[in-house]
């Protein structure tokens, strides 16, 4: 090889190696939104793919029953495919359909491991997942008041950085899991008063029976 070309190619190789490879940035739903349900505001709902840093192949589905209504009937063949984290183009969109206000939209992440085994993780309650842990965050009011950002974790047991598949959903909001709801002060006081009254009543009955 000509010495000039050899030196030029060497210089180009060094330049390429010294240039950092750009890592695509995308937003992850905020901590504290684990387990939140996504709820339709009423009308048409569209999802937009936001990105991934995952090595596994993840397929995202909207769970539907045999009639096409949102819900988990245990038959995965009824679910609507939305995105694949490796094949879908960032910014691509999917029309999910039209839903009444208050309809809960549940999502399933089907994960293909390097050994070709698969596992499903779900948005919403931790109990739905094989490891009993939250595998999705859902942050409402993302960008505007009617857009929700959802971010999934695809590894059983964590590390729970939720960067394996993120997408936004228009015309939706979130609802906190029932387990995180804090009772109203009057509810707590009422419960204590009711419990005390019940104890007194049992004591009176016991004393009457002794008499």
pLDDT tens for each residue of 22-72: 345 789 999 999 999 999 999 999 999 999 998 899 999 999 999 999 999
The whole-number average pLDDT for the span 80-85 is 97
How many beta carbons lie within 10 A of that of residue 167, not counting itself?
26
Q: What is the DSSP string of 58-103?
A: EEEEE-B-TTS-BS--S-GGGSEEEEETTTSPTT-EEEEEEE-TT-
Alpha-carbon separation of residue 19 from 6, 14, 15 (angstroms): 20, 9, 6
- Residue 3 pLDDT greater than 60, yes or no: no
Asked if residue 20 belongs to a domain, the reply is no
Backbone angles phi, psi at 178, to 5 degrees: -60, -30
Asked if residue 194 belongs to a domain, the reply is no
Asked if residue 24 belongs to a domain, the reply is no
User: From CA 78, how far away is CA 151, in angstroms rounded?
Assistant: 23
Q: Which tokens belong to 154? A: 């695809």
Asked if residue 121 belongs to a domain, the reply is yes
Asked if residue 83 belongs to a domain, the reply is yes
User: From CA 49, how far away is CA 95, in angstroms rounded?
Assistant: 12
Structural contact between residues 109 and 60, judged by C-beta atoms closer than 8 angstroms: yes
Residue 95, Cα to own-chain centre: how many angstroms?
Answer: 18
| Residue 66: CATH number of its domain | 2.60.120
Asked if residue 12 belongs to a domain, the reply is no
User: From CA 89, how far away is CA 93, in angstroms rounded?
Assistant: 9
State the average pLDDT for the chain: 81
User: From CA 154, how far away is CA 68, in angstroms rounded?
Assistant: 26
Structural contact between residues 52 and 58, judged by C-beta atoms closer than 8 angstroms: yes
Asked if residue 79 belongs to a domain, the reply is yes
Asked if residue 66 belongs to a domain, the reply is yes
Q: Which tokens belong to 151? A: 């971010």
Which structural domain range is residue 69 located in?
37-180
How many beta carbons lie within 10 A of that of residue 127, not counting itself?
11
- Residue 11 pLDDT greater than 50, yes or no: no
Q: Which tokens belong to 210? A: 């002794």
H-run or E-run covering 206: helix 185-210
Of the chain, the percentage scoring pLDDT greater than 70 comes to 73
Instruction: Give the chain's domain count.
Output: 1
Q: How confident is the model at residue 98 (pLDDT cuts 50, 70, 90)?
A: very high
Q: So what's the pLDDT on residue 79?
A: 97
């Amino acid at each position: 090889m000509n010495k000039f070309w050899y030196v030029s190619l060497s210089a180009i190789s060094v330049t390429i190696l010294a240039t950092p490879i750009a890592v695509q940035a995308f937003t992850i739903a905020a901590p504290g939104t684990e387990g939140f349900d996504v709820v339709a505001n009423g009308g048409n709902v569209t999802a937009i793919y936001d990105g991934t840093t995952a090595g596994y192949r993840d397929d995202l589905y909207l769970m539907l029953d045999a009639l096409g209504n949102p819900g988990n009937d245990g038959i995965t063949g009824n679910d609507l495919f939305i995105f694949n984290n490796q094949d879908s183009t960032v910014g691509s969109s999917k029309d999910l359909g039209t839903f009444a206000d208050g309809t809960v939209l549940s999502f399933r992440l089907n994960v293909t491991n390097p050994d070709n085994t698969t596992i499903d993780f779900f948005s919403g309650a931790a109990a739905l997942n094989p490891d009993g842990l939250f595998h999705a965050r859902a942050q409402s009011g993302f960008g505007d008041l009617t857009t929700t950002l959802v971010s999934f974790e695809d590894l059983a047991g964590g590390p729970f950085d939720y960067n394996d598949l993120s997408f936004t959903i228009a015309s939706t909001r979130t609802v906190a899991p029932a387990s995180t709801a804090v009772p109203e002060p009057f509810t707590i006081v009422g419960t204590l008063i009711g419990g005390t009254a019940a104890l007194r009543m049992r004591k009176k009955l016991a004393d009457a029976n002794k008499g």
